Chains A and B, each alone.
Chain A
Amino acid sequence: MGLELYLDLLSQPCRAVYIFAKKNCIPFQLRTVELLKGQHLSDAFAQVNPLKKIPTLKDGNFILTESVAILLYLTHKYKVPDYWYPQDLQVRACIDEYLAWQHTTLRRNCLRALWHKVMFPVFLGEQVSPKTLTATLTELDVTLQLLEDKFLQNKDFLVGPHISLADLVAITELMHPVGAGCQVFESRPKLAAWCQRVEAAVGKDLFQEAHEVILKVKDSPPADPIIKQKLMPRVLAMIQ
């Protein structure tokens, strides 16, 4: 059995892994795990990943979680073009720096923006106070400013003239609040231009295919009460 990728394109890290594998023509079997149906909480999936999270990679008997680790694994195993994770020590270090920084910052704030703005009211039927929503969107704003000022600056891509793993991980995160209807690129022409460049480097068709689900997320039907009950504790823990 070849490489299997357990994904749901609703999830930002899954999108990054999906785009990377497709872009680099890495052969894999897509195993869809539908988050909004609670499929990641099934006993069957727990056999694959007891942490019950996606993306998960299965390569023979080897199981790997964490999108950053998966991206690096695919990079090393499949000998992808150097620009994704260059040999140059300092450029590589800048990518590592971004990939470490983003866990508790952009990832967290993009996730909260989506859930507070859309998923709680639309999918879970739970009201979010205007105060909470404002605070979340303000935090996102601060993080976006950091992304521009510290990482992007005046470069074409986050670590230099070429797209890298850092850009892929960043863009897939940003599409979360975009899917939620946040005007992420309004009054941020630098970021908007960077987004265009990343989309072009990935390939417009692949980019749009990967983001079809998140861009329709506002139309999600409300959760079945049983599913809602199952998902709630994990959602609350996830967006802390």
Chain B
Amino acid sequence: MVLELYMDLLSASCRAVYIFAKKNGIPFDFQFVDLLKGHHHSKEYIEINPLRKLPSLKDGRFILSESVAILFYLCRRYSAPSHWYPPDLHSRARVDEFMAWQHTAIQLPMSKILWIKLLIPMITGEEVPAEKTEETLEEVNKNLQFFEEKFLQDKMFITGDHISLADLVALMEMMQPMGGNYNVFLHSSKLAEWRMRVELAIGSGLFWEAHDRLSKLADWDCSTLDPIVKDRISEFLKKYK
């Protein structure tokens, strides 16, 4: 039974898993769960992951969620080259540290930018108040600065000379605002250079293939959005106002 990966490449977490699996020649069935059509709420998917989140991995009867856990599992199960998750105590700790920190420091705020810049105006027809936008952008800039000063420093990649899972996850999340035409890499040339190195280490072909759906998100016809899903989103969006 082939490994199954339940994903929608609109999600940064899914892109990290997709790129890692492809880059390392890990055979898998891509089970597309369309977030825009609300398929993560379908009966079939809820059986896979009752939390209704992506990505999920299914390896025979073993089901796993959380992209960080999935990446570590794939690394170990398929004996990926050691630079992805170095055995050296300190380097490994740095990857673990980034993976823990990024949930709240990078993933959440980057996702917020996409909502504020694109999805909220698109779905509700209303702009988010400038104050809230400013607040979010300030938080993002602060955290990007920490990322540079603490994780990247003057190295080529987070652990040194080679790409690791930390760089992959970091970049996928920092690409998320691109869906709303917001480029966080204009912020600093150091960050932009690191971004290029990560893209090249992955391979530009694979990188852009993974980002195709995100890059077309602005063209999505959201009038097809299920009204129940639209209501749910509007409720959730109130906290941005």
* Stretch in contact with the other chain, from A3-11, A97-105, A197-205: A97-105
For residue B146, CB closer than 8 A to chain A, the reply is yes
The answer for the CA separation of A96 and B69 in the assembled complex, in Å, is 5
Q: Is there a chain A Cβ closer than 8 Å to B235's Cβ?
A: no
- A residues within 8 A CB of B236? none
B212 at the interface (CB under 8 A from A): no
Closest B residue to A65 using CB positions: B97
Which B residues from 163 to 211 make CB contacts under 8 A with A?
A: none
- Whole-angstrom distance between the Cβ of B36 and the nearest chain A Cβ: 22
Q: A50-B150, A90-B62, A150-B51 given as contacts; is B90 within 8 A of A62 (CB)?
A: yes
| Contact between B104 and A97, CB atoms less than 8 A apart | no
B103 near A73 (CB under 8 angstroms)? no
Contacts of B30 in A (CB 8 A): none
Does A93 belong to the interface (CB within 8 Å)?
yes
CA distance A137 to B175 in the complex (A): 34
Which bracket fits the contact residues of B?
Answer: 20 to 34
CB closest residue in chain A, given B59: A90
A64-B93, A77-B89, A150-B51 given; A104·B104 CB < 8 A: yes
CA distance A150 to B76 in the complex (A): 24
For chain A, give the interface size range: 20 to 34
> Which positions 132-166 of chain A face chain B at CB distance < 8 Å?
146, 149-150
Q: Are A72 and B108 in contact (CB under 8 A)?
A: no
Contacts of A66 in B (CB 8 A): 96-97, 100-101
Given A89-B73, A93-B72, A97-B65; A69-B104 close (CB under 8 Å): no
Interface of A is mostly: helix
Q: Max chain B CB contacts within 10 Å: which of A50, A77, A92, A96?
A: A96
Which residue on A lies nearest to B68, using beta carbons?
A100
Q: How far is the CA of A90 from the CA of B94 in the complex (A)?
A: 23
Given contacts A96-B69, A100-B68, contact A76 B108 (CB under 8 A): no
Contact code string A169-203 (vs B, CB < 8 Å = 1, else 0): 00000000000000000000000000000000000
Would B77 and A100 count as touching, CB distance under 8 A? Answer: no
> Are the CB atoms of A73 and B96 closer together than 8 Å?
yes
B99: chain A residues at CB < 8 Å are: 68-69, 100
A97 and B64 form a contact (CB under 8 A): yes
Interface residues of B (CB under 8 A from A): 50-51, 62, 64-70, 72-73, 76-77, 89-90, 92-94, 96-97, 99-101, 103-104, 108, 139, 146, 149-150
The 3 A-B pairs of least Cβ separation, nearest first, read A96-B69, A69-B96, A66-B100
Known: A65-B101, A100-B68. 8 other contacts (CB 8 A): A50-B146, A62-B93, A72-B96, A76-B89, A93-B62, A93-B69, A94-B64, A104-B104
